[in-house]
Structure 1
Amino acid sequence: MERPSYLSKYLFDWEVLEIFLEGKSSLDTAHFVGPINTMKEAGDFLKGYGFNPDDPVLMAELFGNFQEALQFIKRYFLKEGTPLGLDLKIPPAIFMITDVCELFVMASSDEKDVEKKMWAEIILKVLHTIVHVDRDWRSSYFSVIQTQIFDRFYKHIFRNSKDQLYVAVKKNSSERIPLVDFSSKSRKSRDSVILKLLHKADNVAEELFDRVGVRFITKSSFDNLRLIKFFLDNNIVIPQNIKPSRSINTIFDLEKLRNSFGELVKEAEKENYDEEVFTQKMEEMAKDCHLDEKNFPKNIHSSKAYRSIQFTGRHLIRYKNPFFEEFNELRQVARGDEGSTLAQKVLAMDISLISRDVRFFFPYEVQIVDEKNQQSNTKGEASHQEYKKAQQVTSLIRLFRPLMELKGLKVDDLIVD
């Protein structure tokens, strides 16, 4: 019995519906793009994506992204570039591509070579990620972003005569919070950004919250709390601008800390403690209120041994448009020579769409950890290298799972000492 011809109008791509209705990432679909059988169909898809296939400059940029995707895959996911990689080779046909539209056709047409189709899918997913990284509009303002965010913290960090770091309102302030170390993350490397996006469900550059960050290593657990209070009291971090889902605490059992602190305050009032005694008892209390590992928030890439406080704030960036000021100066000159054709054209230009300032919120990450926990964090499974390896393996499996199943490769084969 023949299938009625009208049914073709009602055939749904159920994986695509999962993207629309259930939050599935396109990187987790078996087929990254729908059926594209011709170069014209590939061009139509690119138009919808935002690229004009008739623009040679844009297509050259996209081809450059394609070449970068190939090198990235070799560097992070194949044995030729990393011990964690798969013992596979990119098919020669991929390297013969001269137009990215060919890659779309290869990935979704009735290609008999299943392995080649899978490779095309993998490369498209990495290419898609790189395209988003390259076209994050905020990257144009990155130097301004770094300066304005870091200055909020830098102006409160000083060194004493013994070269010891501390946080204070002013250099000569008597109220100080000693630091073991302070560091700033000025910018993630390009590869780190791509790798992070490849393992995130939200595979877009706007969802990276740790491109700019600062880390404070304090002397004690109690100083962790003092530092947060310092940020609050001096409006360095605005709590209303903290992204709730990004706050992670693996140091304190906050409920226990709150109850213990209430009891300590009553005890201090009753026993008439001086400040020195009170702070000593606060130090002891903070140590006693550490969070049990079984209550740690879940992060598949973080070790259970990793203890820190992390939160993501948003700072309102103000970018003064230098063109606006320069153009205004040009208009002043033109007013002195209104008889010339050039001056008339300059004065007739509509400047209403030229912004004097550009203002937008940009996220930054703050990490606070005390010296003892930091020493533990740098050992064994808790090290940053282990964290990065976990990200790398997760990204690899996410992209290559269908091909691994086809080739009979197991996840366990990726684990290296």
Structure 2
Amino acid sequence: MTELQASLKGAGKLSLNWGYLNAIANGTSAIDLGALALRNLDDARQFVREYGFDLDEPAAAALIRRAHCEAVEFIRGTFLDPDQAGLIPAEVSEPEEVLQLLVYASLRGQQVDARRMWACAVLKVMHGIFYIDNNLKLRHFHAIRAQVFGTLDEVIRHDGERHYLTDGDICLPLLHYDRKDNKGRGSILLKLLQKAAYLAADIFDHLGVRLVFATRCECLLALRTLQRAHLLSVTNVDAERTRNTLLDLDAAKQVFCKYRAQLEHAEGYPLDLLRQMDAELAEIAQPQTRCDNPHSGSGFNSMQVTVRKMIHVQQLDAAPEQDYDVGFFFEYEIQLMDEASYQRSLSGPASHEEYKRRQVDTARTRVFGRDLLRWIEGQHAG
């Protein structure tokens, strides 16, 4: 066994990559880096091994190649115009060995800067793809979806084409009921690429429902209905992710207390009275601004609650003494809107199309970086 001796002498010059070490020490996200710090292919292979891939396994190499192809197609289809698809250098879009991209992403110099920037962009997207593919919770997605909607279906009932929200006591008619059964892979990837950590576990809207009522006061009653059915409680709501730009609860309390007796004694469903309550609410309510999503447009109003639900799946390798299945928490979203807010969301700055465009712009800037964006503009101008 070789005896170890303390020493600072190495085979080469003692140098530090200050930018890379600063990113590690100060928590800079990988998606915001402009370069890696690998010296050669041997370095790249060790990097990949510690990342989690055993390159001696043919399946691992195949996974990396598939992720590379998906990343290139995602960039071309999402961030580039059709006439810009050829801007990605062939060395990056069709490398003889995908590992070479790690070396390309580490080399600086006037002749290789464009290649480095494109290699970084592709690797950033590949990193997001690997997080999606290795999110263990999503491997149980069918069980998750069945259990989440199994509970929701108990309170969201339908009679013909009409849907109602009911806890067995009051019954609120829905104008629109939108159910998200699955967030598409491209949408997940786009959302990851906007986040500093870009972890698949940070995507909270894989599943969810949007409940649209005629009035905001009905949204208040819907909140009560969901609470009484225990779908919403202080223990299962992610408080940090609650977004309320719809209801001023203090003002709503004043209006509700004023009209509660009339609501209780009304014949039939008191929609006109609820609209009158909404009009008074609008006069005294303060604007609600708890929405830190930078991509939401002006005029978008909703109450969005992220709910944690314990999911149970059977564990195939459970110990003999374990007589209960494995549980983990999965988060899904419930969104409440009134008709006016919903109509505004269909067009203009508050529309989903504009929201998506702002998402793409943010992700493009983070993946490409400003230097590559300027390079692309220069090619277009030329």
Using the size of structure 1 for normalisation, the TM-score is 0.79
Residue from 358, 367, 372 that aligns with 1:399: 367
| Aligned residues between the structures | 365
**How far off its partner does 1:255 sit?**
3.9
One-letter code aligned to 1:309: M
Contact 1:377 1:383 in 2 (8 A): yes
Matched, 1:373 2:341: yes
Cα offsets for 1:92-135 (capped at 9, x unmatched): 12244132211111111356421111111111111111111111
Cα offsets for 1:13-55 (capped at 9, x unmatched): 345434543x432101222x22x12211101111111111222
Residue from 199, 207, 229 that aligns with 2:194: 199
**How far off its partner does 1:274 sit?**
6.9
Shifted more, 106-115 versus 6-15: the winner is 6-15
One-letter code aligned to 1:62: I
Q: Does the C-alpha gap of structure 1 residues 41 and 366 become closer, same or farther in structure 2, counting only changes over 3 Å?
A: same
Residue from 47, 51, 57 that aligns with 1:45: 47
- The match for 1:346 is none
Residue from 207, 210, 219 that aligns with 1:212: 207
Q: Does the C-alpha gap of structure 1 residues 255 and 15 become closer, same or farther in structure 2, counting only changes over 3 Å?
A: farther
Matched, 1:78 2:80: yes
Q: Does the C-alpha gap of structure 1 residues 289 and 296 become closer, same or farther in structure 2, counting only changes over 3 Å?
A: farther
- The match for 2:163 is 165
1:257-272 correspondence runs (5 A)? 257-258=252-253, 260-261=254-255, 265=257
Tell me the secondary structure at the aligned position of residue 309 of structure 2: strand
One-letter code aligned to 2:333: E
Contact 1:183 1:214 in 2 (8 A): yes
Specify every segment of 5 or more residues in structure 1 that has no aligned partner in the other structure, as ranges: 325-349
Residue from 288, 292, 299 that aligns with 1:298: 292
- The match for 2:311 is 317
Tell me the secondary structure at the aligned position of residue 184 of structure 1: strand
Tell me the secondary structure at the aligned position of residue 99 of structure 2: helix
Indicate the percent of aligned positions where both proteins have the same amino acid.
Answer: 27
- The match for 1:328 is none
The CA distance in 2 between the partners of 1:274 and 1:47, in whole Å, is: 66
- The match for 2:138 is 139
Q: Does the C-alpha gap of structure 1 residues 16 and 232 become closer, same or farther in structure 2, counting only changes over 3 Å?
A: farther
**How far off its partner does 1:158 sit?**
2.3
Cα RMSD, aligned residues only:
3.1
**How far off its partner does 1:361 sit?**
0.1
Specify every segment of 5 or more residues in structure 2 that has no aligned partner in the other structure, as ranges: 1-7
Structure with greater Cα Rg: 1
**How far off its partner does 1:226 sit?**
0.5
Q: Does the C-alpha gap of structure 1 residues 312 and 40 become closer, same or farther in structure 2, counting only changes over 3 Å?
A: same
Contact 2:167 2:228 in 1 (8 A): no
Residue from 106, 126, 143 that aligns with 1:108: 106
- The match for 1:155 is 154
Tell me the secondary structure at the aligned position of residue 199 of structure 1: coil
One-letter code aligned to 2:103: V
The CA distance in 2 between the partners of 1:56 and 1:353, in whole Å, is: 38
Tell me the secondary structure at the aligned position of residue 245 of structure 1: helix
Q: Does the C-alpha gap of structure 1 residues 136 and 249 become closer, same or farther in structure 2, counting only changes over 3 Å?
A: same
The CA distance in 1 between the partners of 2:55 and 2:244, in whole Å, is: 48
The CA distance in 2 between the partners of 1:160 and 1:390, in whole Å, is: 38
Cα offsets for 1:124-180 (capped at 9, x unmatched): 11111111111111111101101111111112222347x43211234xx5x211111
Q: Which has the higher helix share?
A: 1
- The match for 1:17 is 22
